[in-house]
Amino acid sequence: MPKMGDGMTEGKVLRWMKQPGDPVAQGEVIVEIETDKVNVDLEAEWDGVVAQLLVPAGEVAAVGVPIALIARPGEEIERLPAPTPAEPVATGAAAPAAATAEPKAPSSESAGGVRASPLARKMAAQRGIPLTAIHGTGPEGRITKEDVEAALAPGTAATEIPLTRMRQTIARRMTLSKQQAPHFYVSVSVAVDDALALRRQLNDGKSEAEKISINDLIVKAAALALVRFPNLNAAFADGVVRRLPDVNISIAVALPEGLIVPTLYHCDRKPVWQIAAEARELVERARLGRLRPDDLTGGTFTLSNLGMFEVDVFAAIINPPQAAILAVGAAKPQAVVREGSLAVATVMQATLSADHRVTDGVEAARFLGEVRRLLENPVGLVIERPAV
């Protein structure tokens, strides 16, 4: 089971396209894998013959566990026992340490201490209700058949919605981040009148498909600021801050089933029009569920924007193992004081959530100051990469 995303610890085999005995060519799709966030067609890495499928369709395998054997044509292969499904294993040195440091999700089966009749236990298990969610009315709180039926009856109990794989991933990673990364928050107000004016000029005469959004400018500003503050373009894991060579901005995209953060690579080096084009395409693919594994890996910093929902200020949870996340609200006309007089400016609030293990308030403030400077003097966003 290959690792196809930073947070990926296991994958589900959806469909085998090849069966034992089938010849495969390098690059040919052999299996469809469901990861936490996307479905991926996995290609054969060698020419050969499928010798054995180790994980049946519908089952989950941990990253690093063999899922199939491909033999050279004519080669006899010693059969391997099928791996134990869904048991996460140590993923080796190549895996980000953050993945192995994650605590195991608390098991919903940990209801051994709950009193329940054997029948009630069986009924609850069949219907996927944790015993801990059922009120027992029998002696000493024993859960009986009647109690399970009451829990199932519509209108008398809260609706239990099992988490989708995506929500499970969000729950696991956000809990990990909030529990392990000591967050602190720094906010600034940014006057974006000049940035909006620049955007108008850049978009003048362009088709809808070519237009640049304010968010694209913020991506560019954040990327350039990260070049100056490389400590925030980092991953924290196992007590080490790993400063990352590339500036890859993850952008938060809301989907009906939850949040996903695909990556825009090398934002410091790409012109704004290219960022805009790539972001548009990335969001489109995210909505269609067609993200590729590398769309979901490699991010070094995240930008989350709720401006389109008229939000003024919000604070985001850091996307581990990254060091910081920038949350921006809506740009709104506001009364400001300039040189002792009232004026009207279009102001946007930006809040940085940073990992205190990696950085401190002063660095966060300076970084935010640089983001503001770039957005308030936006010509720097569209000229050649400035000297550092």
118 in contact with other proteins (CB under 8 A) = yes
Q: Give, in order, the Cα–Cα distances in Å from 380 to each of 14, 198, 213, 291, 386.
A: 48, 11, 16, 31, 8
Catalytic residue among 135, 238, 294, 356: 356
Instruction: Tell me which H or E stretch contains 308.
Output: none
Contact segment (CB under 8 A) with other proteins among 28-36, 144-152, 295-303, 378-386 equals 144-152
Closest by Cα among 103, 163, 173, 169 to 317: 173
Closest approach of other proteins to the CB of residue 23, in Å = 48
Write down the H helix ranges in 31-164: 97-101, 118-127, 145-152
**Hey, what are 95's tokens?**
């895996």
- Distance (Å, whole) CA 55 – CA 37: 20
117 in contact with other proteins (CB under 8 A) = yes
Answer for the pair 149, 177: CB distance below 8 angstroms, yes or no. no
Residues 145-174 that bind other proteins (CB under 8 A): 145-146
Closest approach of other proteins to the CB of residue 36, in Å = 34
Closest approach of other proteins to the CB of residue 108, in Å = 20
- Distance (Å, whole) CA 194 – CA 58: 54
Q: Give, in order, the Cα–Cα distances in Å from 106 to each of 22, 111, 122, 158.
A: 41, 11, 21, 21
Contact segment (CB under 8 A) with other proteins among 119-127, 200-208, 256-264, 270-278 equals 119-127
Residue selected from 84, 132, 137, 201 as contacting other proteins according to rule CB under 8 A: 137
Contact segment (CB under 8 A) with other proteins among 80-88, 105-113, 120-128, 197-205 equals 120-128
Closest approach of other proteins to the CB of residue 142, in Å = 8
141 in contact with other proteins (CB under 8 A) = no
Closest approach of other proteins to the CB of residue 121, in Å = 8
**Is 126 or 159 the residue whose CB approaches other proteins more closely?**
126
Answer for the pair 367, 361: CB distance below 8 angstroms, yes or no. no
Annotated catalytic, 266? no
Residues forming contacts to other proteins in the complex (CB under 8 A) are 117-122, 137-139, 144-146
Residues labelled as active-site residues: 356, 360
